[in-house]
Structure 1
């Protein structure tokens, strides 16, 4: 009886499925370490750090290393050494590593893009939360125990003489026991098979897969851990990818600003000099020179504005978070934006909302969060103005008389450990093709836009530990959904830690 039941429960493919599930944990650990190595590569290639290491003293090197702790919160220590091992500068975080809560990784990289082996070396020590590694070890112990039972269950329970005796004496009981064993094992095998099936798309890179969790046994715990691991891995990958792309975009913005700004003044001065020196009496030619001067000065002004926006984008603001009641903040913004809707003119951003039916639906209770009021005001104003501009472009020409262009509704609610703020409108909406790249720099649907506003909005929301996405609205137009963590959540605490360091002068890296 025991042999039949155990043979049903221990199928070879069960162990293989468990091994694949354990491999997902190993991939998570590998991804975390690889992310730390990428961060070390990014630090080692910083031009400012390379310049300081070659030209300045130890104190200046330590100051430059300290700046890296702002952008890389997982750092524990940074050192700069020459080829002989002499320390050129060092900086460490305030609190030591807690072995019970953190695990460290040391990365050594040559300084600069060329990676000279005889040049200075960057020695970076990173720390990662110990929780995921502890879960991986727990899952590994579970799988090892399963394999041990699988190897030894026949040796321990299968005795052919004993089995024949039981078969002769209790044949009917054997049949009933086998059926009972199958009935008991089938739910377990089904859930393990579902978990194994979910690992296949994950191995292919799809982190949106989730398994249905039922029961409170070890398989249920494994399923919950699997889902939680995928959620955190998806968020980590998205954040790392966004920060990597932001770094590339900022490099391009700095390059464009530099390349465009330099020739503007000579061009303007040359045209002005041509206009000033012409003393002829040909009226047509003089009119052409005057028109050329006006066009060049106007276009140069436009280019200077673009250069300013590129420079601002290259120095994206970093939120300084403090405890704030999100509900009270949204009610203040309601009063502020409502005051801007007064009047009947529609020219300019100040009067843009005067032709929009703007409403707020905010709960009366407290909504404790950690916010940067000025930055979040910038986010809300930008999103609401974008909605108003979409309504203006879609319906403004058809409704030049009295009345409004459409509705914009701002709602807030609490769900789990997050607050959800939705900005809905009843305009034309956002096409599916644009949604995927809407928050990328230089993507805009407006004739006079530069495509940097929503990129800065996303950067501010990410600094708050939240997320932002564009979807379809129940009103028929677009919905911008902003998720911000509660003040007592782990995401909020992590965001506060990233914002504790004081602002640094980034002008050397932005020019």
Structure 2
């Protein structure tokens, strides 16, 4: 059963894990499909291409501004400052000395703005570096060989600014989405573990619990079967539930009860067969010498020719005693013979109430009460056989006590389609230790009789497909209940 329990737990765990894995697979697949909308190769390629275009446009803007600064520096060096103000590729130009003091600016109103300029540190003169820029302007600084500065500023076009902002926003969005995607993947795995770990543990506990509930009754059934094989017909499986397992336990107990009853019937039949064989042998062995003995006694009386009257009287008395005992033995032989070889039943339709009244009339000296059902149907039975049954039962009831009251009742059981007869008395009753043996052959609590009467009664009733049961209480009387199919 441990193997079955392990298989059941493994099956329940598999049924718990597999749906979770399927859900996790589809959830991961759905997440990847959703993320692929913003993180696919086409988006990446488009974003890279847009960045290259924007970078190229910015580079062109810087090149144009750088060329403008070099042109302005040449004009300053050639003392043609007037040409300094003819800038085509710059919106603002500043000319600063080596101390970074503004000497000239174009437009002129931007001269004071030079103080706020943050100039880069150059490793050598005649260099061109970016002096600062934002999303709106490009600013370059050029330091001439004499240490003076030329700074130019170019404002980006509206289209370029918009394109730059869009590309930068897209790049930030993609980077953020990539970061979020990684977190989502980790969160999905962590969530799956956090959610499914308790479920898995619960499934393990529930699997063990239900497996034990299922396998324990099976173990008890297996143990009960082994005890049954060993001959323990009294063992029954405990009923722990009212489900299919409980029904199986009930069916097993019912099967054991049926087998026990059948075994008892087989044992009873075997015992009955043995007793019948004993009765047959005894009847044969006793019957054979009875007739010669009876004839010899009669012959002794008839052939005595002497004149001794006392001897003749003794012969007559002894012969009478011998014939009386022979008569008892013959009666005993008849009982043995009847028990050993019951005559074949001759079924014929009859009214059971009439039979009961006929038998009761044989005991007119005692009062017998009747509670007979007038609706009792006519059905087939052996009149003489059942007559013998009721004679025996009524005699036993009357002999239970000199003052015992006997009541005979009949009733039609419509639903069961059977006739029920009750023979009850208020006699001394039967002790419990004797009650279970009263149908055994040669068992009797009376000082007379061989104890075959109730055994014959039971056999006649069973040959009619009937049943007989008895209840008794010492001091309160005995109650025999007979039933026959109609």
TM-score normalised to structure 2 length: 0.53
Equivalent residue number for residue 467 of structure 2: 467
Equivalent residue number for residue 439 of structure 1: 439
Which 10-residue stretch deviates more, 146-155 or 230-239? 146-155
**Native 8 Å contact 1:410 1:423 kept in 2:** yes
* Structure 1 residue 316, shift from structure 2 partner: 0.9
Alpha-carbon distance change, 213 to 422 in structure 1, aligned in 2, over 3 angstroms: farther
Equivalent residue number for residue 354 of structure 1: 365
Equivalent residue number for residue 502 of structure 1: none
What CA distance in whole angstroms lies between the structure 2 residues aligned with 1:280 and 1:332?
A: 58
What CA distance in whole angstroms lies between the structure 1 residues aligned with 2:418 and 2:241?
A: 27
Equivalent residue number for residue 310 of structure 1: 336
* Structure 1 residue 194, shift from structure 2 partner: 5.8
Alpha-carbon distance change, 337 to 290 in structure 1, aligned in 2, over 3 angstroms: closer
Q: CA RMSD in A?
A: 4.2
Equivalent residue number for residue 430 of structure 1: 430
* Structure 1 residue 289, shift from structure 2 partner: 2.0
Alpha-carbon distance change, 258 to 196 in structure 1, aligned in 2, over 3 angstroms: same
* Structure 1 residue 223, shift from structure 2 partner: 2.5
**Native 8 Å contact 2:5 2:211 kept in 1:** no
What CA distance in whole angstroms lies between the structure 1 residues aligned with 2:6 and 2:380?
A: 49
Alpha-carbon distance change, 380 to 274 in structure 1, aligned in 2, over 3 angstroms: closer
Alpha-carbon distance change, 211 to 476 in structure 1, aligned in 2, over 3 angstroms: farther
**Native 8 Å contact 1:424 1:473 kept in 2:** no
**Native 8 Å contact 2:429 2:475 kept in 1:** no
Which 10-residue stretch deviates more, 297-306 or 373-382? 373-382
What CA distance in whole angstroms lies between the structure 2 residues aligned with 1:410 and 1:474?
A: 22
Alpha-carbon distance change, 428 to 475 in structure 1, aligned in 2, over 3 angstroms: closer
Equivalent residue number for residue 297 of structure 2: 271
Alpha-carbon distance change, 177 to 205 in structure 1, aligned in 2, over 3 angstroms: same
What CA distance in whole angstroms lies between the structure 1 residues aligned with 2:482 and 2:335?
A: 24
What CA distance in whole angstroms lies between the structure 1 residues aligned with 2:274 and 2:291?
A: 28
**Native 8 Å contact 1:356 1:388 kept in 2:** no
Partner of 1:355, secondary structure, is coil
**Native 8 Å contact 2:431 2:473 kept in 1:** no
Unaligned segments of structure 2, at least 5 residues: 22-188
Which 10-residue stretch deviates more, 180-189 or 446-455? 180-189
Alpha-carbon distance change, 148 to 311 in structure 1, aligned in 2, over 3 angstroms: farther
* Structure 1 residue 427, shift from structure 2 partner: 0.8
Equivalent residue number for residue 390 of structure 2: 380
TM-superposition CA deviations, 1:102-122 (whole Å, max 9, x none)? xxxxxxxxxxxxxxxxxxxxx
More contact order relative to length (CA 8 Å, sep ≥ 6): 1
Q: For residues 97-176 of structure 1, what are the structure 2 equivalents within 5 Å?
A: 150=8, 153=11, 168-174=194-200, 176=202
2:262 is aligned with 1:236: yes
**Native 8 Å contact 2:428 2:475 kept in 1:** no
What CA distance in whole angstroms lies between the structure 2 residues aligned with 1:239 and 1:374?
A: 26
